[in-house]
């Protein structure tokens, strides 16, 4: 039997395929019975730090932590100046003495990795420039609710795949045994190392990953079509250029007609109608975007409960734990 260790959720493949399925099953139970699992009863505190603009992340973590019996300590990352006024490592040590877990929405992945290395409590990635693993767990729960088991399903992501959503879809999708197709212009494909990791995972789970430049090829027969804004946070000065580059990657009804008759549409929000997605599709009968937004709360509760259980097991080991 392996020795329990402190676990974090910094990228999608921090969970094994079995662990991902366990967390999703727990999320479904928590959605059905919101107050049945209370690992933060006390209340214990969870630090929720936001370096970037946020609505869904802050709201869903605050509501979810309260439902778990805890108290959300909201930290404005710009005021805290983490990494400038005080090092990431020292901030981790301070917050780790105050909170049962730390949730961070920040920039480069190296920052949250440094937080996890020094916090002594579980750390959850609520968004970095490279990954958005809580969002893709919410997406998998949403797909299951509408289409049933996800293994063997085809998910097509259309748009800027060189960023967090593109990377998280190829990892989370293949972990779940899905066939993930990405359609992005030249220069906006996902990191080849992450695609290689997804292919490796797919050989274990039966999933696969393909990278296209033609959105019609990626969407053909797909069960799920997903997209995201063309102008991510921090790329606002490239807005005009990006709108030209991605103009032919809009998810509209004509593109959606190439997918499965039962296709569902995902968007992590905020959405820009008339840019990456038309209002007809976003507000149409195939859209499950509002369920997807709600499910952030349920999966994040499950992630926190799962990590806290592992932290308690690790703390119980002589010489181990936070």
Looking at residue 100, what DSSP letter applies? S
* Secondary structure, 3-state, 174-196: HHCCCEEEEECCCCCCCCHHHHH
Instruction: Say which residue the tokens 């020795």 belong to.
Output: 3
Whether residue 81 is annotated as binding a ligand: the answer is yes
Whether residue 163 is annotated as binding a ligand: the answer is no
Whether residue 135 is annotated as binding a ligand: the answer is yes
Whether residue 134 is annotated as binding a ligand: the answer is yes
Whether residue 268 is annotated as binding a ligand: the answer is yes
Give dist(CA 175, CA 172) in Å, integer.
Answer: 5
List b or e across 169-195, with b for residues whose CB sees 16 or more CB atoms inside 10 angstroms. bbbbbbbbbbbbbbbbbeebbbeeebb
Whether residue 297 is annotated as binding a ligand: the answer is no
**Number of Cβ within a 10 Å radius of residue 290:** 10
Closest CA to 276 of 195, 185, 181: 185
Whether residue 133 is annotated as binding a ligand: the answer is yes
Looking at residue 64, what DSSP letter applies? H
Beta-carbon contacts of 247 under 8 Å, excluding residues fewer than 6 positions away, are: none
Helix (H) or strand (E) holding 267: strand 264-267
**Number of Cβ within a 10 Å radius of residue 205:** 18
Residues acting as catalytic residues: 105, 132, 135, 228, 268, 296
Q: Which residues are annotated as a binding site for L-ornithine?
A: 164, 228, 232-233
Q: Binding site residues, as ranges?
A: 81, 105, 132-135, 164, 228, 232-233, 268-269, 296
- Which residues line the annotated binding site for carbamoyl phosphate? 81, 105, 132-135, 268-269, 296
């Amino acid at each position: 039997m392996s020795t329990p260790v402190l676990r974090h959720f910094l990228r999608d493949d921090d969970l094994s395929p079995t662990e991902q399925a366990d967390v999703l099953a727990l999320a479904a139970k928590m959605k059905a019975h919101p107050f049945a699992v209370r690992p933060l009863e006390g209340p214990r505190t969870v630090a929720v730090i936001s370096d970037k603009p946020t609505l869904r992340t802050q709201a869903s973590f605050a509501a979810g932590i309260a439902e778990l019996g805890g108290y959300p300590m909201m930290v404005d990352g710009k005021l805290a100046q983490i990494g400038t006024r005080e090092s990431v490592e020292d901030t981790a040590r301070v917050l780790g003495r105050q909170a049962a877990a730390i949730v961070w929405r920040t920039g480069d992945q190296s920052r949250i990795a440094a937080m996890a290395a020094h916090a002594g409590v579980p750390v959850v990635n609520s968004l970095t420039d490279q990954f958005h693993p809580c969002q893709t767990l919410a997406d998998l729960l949403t797909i299951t609710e509408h289409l049933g088991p996800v293994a063997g399903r085809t998910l097509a992501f259309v748009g800027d795949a060189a960023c967090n959503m593109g990377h998280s879809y190829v990892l989370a999708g293949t972990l779940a045994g899905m066939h993930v197709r990405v359609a992005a212009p030249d220069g906006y494909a996902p990191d080849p190392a992450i695609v290689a990791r997804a292919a490796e995972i797919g050989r274990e789970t039966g999933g696969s990953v393909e990278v296209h430049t033609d959105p019609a090829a990626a969407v053909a027969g797909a069960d799920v079509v997903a997209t995201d804004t063309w102008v991510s946070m921090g790329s606002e000065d490239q807005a005009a250029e990006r709108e030209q580059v991605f103009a032919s990657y809009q998810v509209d009804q004509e593109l959606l007609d190439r997918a499965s008759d039962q296709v569902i549409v995902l968007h992590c929000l905020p959405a820009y109608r008339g840019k990456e997605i038309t209002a007809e599709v976003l507000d149409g009968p195939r859209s499950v975007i509002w369920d997807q937004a709600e499910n952030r709360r349920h999966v994040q509760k499950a992630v926190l409960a799962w990590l806290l259980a592992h932290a308690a097991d690790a703390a119980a080991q002589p010489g181990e734990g936070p």
